[in-house]
Structure 1
Amino acid sequence: MSSITIKQLAYELNLSAATVSRALSDSYEISAATKQKVWDLAKKLNYEPNPSASTLRSHKSKTLAVIVPEIANNFFSQAINGIEEVSRQHGYHVLIYQTHDNSETEAAFIKSLLSGRVDGVLISVSSETGNSNHFADLNKNIPVVFFDRALEDIDAVKITTNDYESAYLATEHLIECGCNKIGYLFALNNLTAGKKRLSGYKDALLSNNIAYNENLVVICGKEESQNYSQIKDLLITNRPDGIISSIEELVLPCYAICRELNINIPDDLKIVSFSNLKTAPFLNPSLTTITQPAFEIGETAATLILKLLNNKQVDTGEDVVLKSALIKRGSTAV
């Protein structure tokens, strides 16, 4: 079966080939209604762009790099799906780079990308990243969009979530459920997202006349066994009645430690976690989560970088904030 071409799409829609081509590349010159008609027909007829032809015309690689800390993380896998969905619609390939939360690996990837093998970079920075030095050259040479984990001092488009508000609401939820001694598992402590989540927790305590106690805050790192022993020590020594986990990697150890110590969830300890775990409803008890709109974050990040690549009106300092959802389940039941 022969491949569908732009000329065939144009014939079916009674449009010029140039209009269809511009619509497929999301050009600002084409109306939203026309773009939608073109995209709908292209999808229906399984139109596949010819990347080599468009590359020769534009001198572009038609490739985007996506740099993430961890592919296995539920949030990042969903965000990548959103990025790939939009990229595919516009004839772009996606290369995935995994830093394993290592800033040196991240810097090496960025250095290699400066060779021009990709047209744009979407990145969620490593939790180890303490400064923006290795981003300076990249941001000058290649369009960059940060998503989820961004750096404040870089003038670039950023797609984030309402981390402060989410942590505030999670803390208030625990207080409404009767908790007054709430522990906090602090991760991403080098990054704005981590700091905002901690601030939301602190301010919610203050607003409810509960004193902040640093002994109830566990600073977690990459070493799983160390995190496990610190969380266990928190539960034995300080006996909180509620816990907020700032990342999903720390919540399953909480469940395991509670079983080990015969701590009943939610009767003895109520738990909320930032998490996009698909299995959250099936844990015993089901887990109350702050769930980020991961797929939408990926879609938005890809859409904005394609606009940058097509010289559309995008403020390079634009900061898009999407809302997370507090989903109440069994781990905070009264």
Structure 2
Amino acid sequence: MEEILDEYKELMEAYEKSGGVSGEFSNPKIPSIVISGNKVLGKNTVEGLILESEPIENGVSLKIVVKKGTKILFPMKLCFGLIPREGIQIIDMHAVIEDDAGMNAISHCVFPNAEHIVHKMNYKLEIGKRSFFRYNEIHFHGESGGIEVIPYVQGVVGEESLFEATFTLKEGRVGLFDTKYDIEVMKNGKVELYAKVWGKGNDNILIEEKVALKGENARALVKSKVVLQDNARSKVISDISASAPYARGHIDCTEIVQGDAVAEAVPIVKVSNNLARVTHEAAIGSLDSKEIETLEARGLQEEEAIKVLVNGILR
């Protein structure tokens, strides 16, 4: 028991460094779950929410169901992580948002001591009709870069529903980040995908986001912001296809490079209905040296000035 308490304490310390408030996990009014490796250290549910979890090899299988008519507006809190320097964590997650329901959720993935860590997430998402799911995922890594983060999200957004997902990784080294989204959107549905990543050292970032607008008047926005320095690498593949009348999609990719970093953007647009429209814009450039000089003139060191500018870009 003492070992589990120590593990929970260390995980909460890392959670707070990533911007979370650990006290929320002890609030019975806030739905939450804390997973370290393949152990569920804490779980709390509320009326209309089903949380089912069971350990699997190197991880946890998790099912989240928001029952019909239930709206969870104060965000559910999720914390996934590993405290040891080495290890594998696999999260198999299935989220179901039933008709006329909705949930906001914030997930913190914390790996403060990572040297040889693999974190995989297999995520299946089902959103019913007239429903919503807003999911904000924030990562906190150590400074060694010894981590591989490999999430795969496959989902369906029902009629008149919304799926909004934001991924943020600004603290610590990225390591290897290889994420894939594959989302289908039905009539009057909407999806918004946001990625904000800061790569350093020899970090390697691959973002592949695919959205299929299958219903009339379906909407999609895929927006990525990646900042690279040192020898970091990134490739952002943004793919929107529209096959239904009045479907609309837009891709917006911004990548900033410094030092010997290399960035690549691959926007893919496909329209197979003459009443649909998909647009894209991509920009790759560098930080404005004049802005850095201005901040240095105000007393900041170059590294501090760069951090201020990058945080502004990745807001």
Verify same fold: TM over 0.5.
no
- Name the structure where strand makes up a greater proportion of residues: 2
TM range (shorter): under 0.3
Normalised to the residue count of structure 1, the TM-score between the two structures is: 0.23
Normalised to the residue count of structure 2, the TM-score between the two structures is: 0.24
Structure with more contact order per residue of length (Cα contacts < 8 Å, sep ≥ 6): 1
- Name the structure where helix makes up a greater proportion of residues: 1
